[in-house]
Amino acid sequence: MVGNKSFITPPRILAAGFALIIAVGTFLLALPAASQSGQRISLMDALFTAVSATCVTGLVVMDTGRTFSLFGEIVILVMIQLGGIGFMTTATWIALALRRRISLRDRLVLKESLNQDSVEGIVRLIIKVFIYAFTVEAGASLVFAAQWAEEVPWKQALYYGVFHAVSLFNNAGFEIIGGFVPYVHDVGINFVSMFLIVAGGLGFIVMSDLVDYPRTRRLSLHSKVVLSVSGLLTLTSAVIFLVFEFANERTLGPMALEDKLLVSVFHAISLRSGGINTVDIAGLHAATQFMMVIMMFIGAAPGSTGGGLKITTFALLVGAVRAVLTGKEDVVLFRYRMPKRLIQKAVTLALIAVGVIVSATMILLTLQDRDFMTVLFEATSAFGTVGLSMGLTPELTPAGQGVIILLMFVGRVGLVTLAFALQSRPPKELYRYPEGRIIIG
């Protein structure tokens, strides 16, 4: 009995929960009722779509709006919501609504899913998450609906509004309107989309701090790091995008200056894990595409709807480099000394993430007859659960789809969570080896 309890750990429950949602979603999407034609789509295509929706990525092997029926789109929407907010978060909210008791094991799984250090205040955070998510999605749905009501009947406009508000808030990148390229000059659509991506990508912990700020007048160290680094990365991305693409006739070249600025900021924010674009990604210069690969690899904040290495991990790595170069022993962020175990964890995550991307890219290069940048871009987009594409995904072989599916799953569940879910309990060390020295640099 003890062995069974030790086997059912929070990381394993979390990974199994995502796998269960994917399995159910695959079954439903493979039904004839899920497609507009009334014909079953292939099981592999259904699986790929289910993984992309549950892992809030947005890479698609077929056009969502043209392929799936209303039933299929609703299945995708539910998977996006469950995958973004988290199935345990949803289950907890339902339990609270039914006045059920939240067990210690449930709290531990919630702690794991939201990347918290302790279970203290975890239920209060869940309540805030739901109120915040519902308010943001409902408000954005109405704004979107008002925009699209000028083009389609109001019922369809409202449905479009709900679908895209949920998709963008959860950083999923799914759309059913044939793409956002026609709205490249639409300030309203652009600003609402950017707000939703930021609101979901900063993480629920940060948003909870921001909501409470008028009362508390303070932000946690985590929130300060996420907000400052996110702002710096977004600004850097926007400037690089604008400079590199300013005269590109396939992207920003023909636009007025104000539109160039709007597009640059939009794509800088979308790189945080949004996954929608208003210009052709394949038409960008190679330098811009490579910048996007780097930003997608860094990803969003912990406890958010986005994936990637995570902003705080990147901040710790930069802090560690700065400490070494300045001859300081401690890594300091906002006048706080970072524990060495966090630095070790950040380095470990970075090395594993690089290894995953390199391995997946090499495998895809052998499976797909495409150039290096296209394959690297697609692999990084899947790992970062971003969803931006240079057009490779619809052309993937079944084996190539399998590689992208694994990348999306790893990117959403998280490297540490997946590692803990797969490993057995390590044996207790009875001794330590003597310290040794090697020459580096």
The answer to whether 58 and 172 are in contact (CB under 8 A) is yes
Structure tokens at 157: 């406009």
The answer to whether 412 and 56 are in contact (CB under 8 A) is yes
- Poorest-confidence range of 110-124, 270-284, 315-329, 382-396? 110-124
Q: pLDDT (tens digit, 9 = 90+) per residue, 159-207? A: 999 999 999 999 998 999 989 999 999 999 999 999 999 988 888 788 8
User: Can you say how many angstroms the Cα of residue 24 is from the centroid of all Cα atoms in its chain?
Assistant: 21
Kindly state the DSSP code that residue 284 receives in the 8-state scheme.
S
| Whole-number pLDDT of residue 441 | 65
Query: What mean pLDDT, rounded, does the chain reach?
Result: 87
- What is the enclosing helix (H) or strand (E) of 204? helix 204-216
pLDDT above 90 as % of the chain: 62
- Poorest-confidence range of 10-19, 140-149, 318-327, 412-421? 412-421
Mean pLDDT (whole number) for 224-251: 95
- What is the enclosing helix (H) or strand (E) of 133? helix 122-148
Question: What is the distance between the alpha carbons of residues 265 and 268, in angstroms, rounded to a whole number?
Answer: 5
Mean pLDDT (whole number) for 96-124: 62
Secondary structure of residue 183 in the 3-state scheme: helix
Model confidence, pTM: 0.88
The answer to whether 88 and 113 are in contact (CB under 8 A) is yes
The answer to whether 367 and 402 are in contact (CB under 8 A) is no
| Whole-number pLDDT of residue 2 | 41
Instruction: Compute the residue count for the chain.
Output: 441
- What is the enclosing helix (H) or strand (E) of 336? strand 336-337
Structure tokens at 11: 């990381």
The answer to whether 273 and 230 are in contact (CB under 8 A) is no
The answer to whether 118 and 111 are in contact (CB under 8 A) is yes
Structure tokens at 212: 């409470």
Mean pLDDT (whole number) for 398-404: 95
Beta-bridge mates of residue 333? 336
| Whole-number pLDDT of residue 3 | 46
Contacts of 250 (CB under 8 A, 6+ apart): 279, 280, 283, 284
Tokens 């799936």 found at: 68
pLDDT at 280 over 80: yes
The answer to whether 350 and 309 are in contact (CB under 8 A) is yes
Residue type, 342: L
The answer to whether 29 and 41 are in contact (CB under 8 A) is yes
Higher pLDDT, 215 or 102: 215
Higher pLDDT, 428 or 284: 284
Q: Name the band, by pLDDT with cuts 50, 70 and 90, for residue 436.
A: confident
pLDDT at 377 over 70: yes
DSSP letters, 347-397, are: HHHHHHHHHHHHHHHHHHHHHS-S-HHHHHHHHHHHHTT----SS-GGG--
Mean pLDDT (whole number) for 340-347: 90
The answer to whether 72 and 34 are in contact (CB under 8 A) is yes
Compute φ and ψ for 173, nearest 5 degrees.
Answer: 80, 5
Q: pLDDT (tens digit, 9 = 90+) per residue, 6-64? A: 556 666 777 788 899 999 999 999 999 999 999 999 999 999 999 999 999 999 999 99
| Whole-number pLDDT of residue 287 | 96
Contacts of 212 (CB under 8 A, 6+ apart): none
Higher pLDDT, 18 or 431: 18
| Whole-number pLDDT of residue 387 | 92
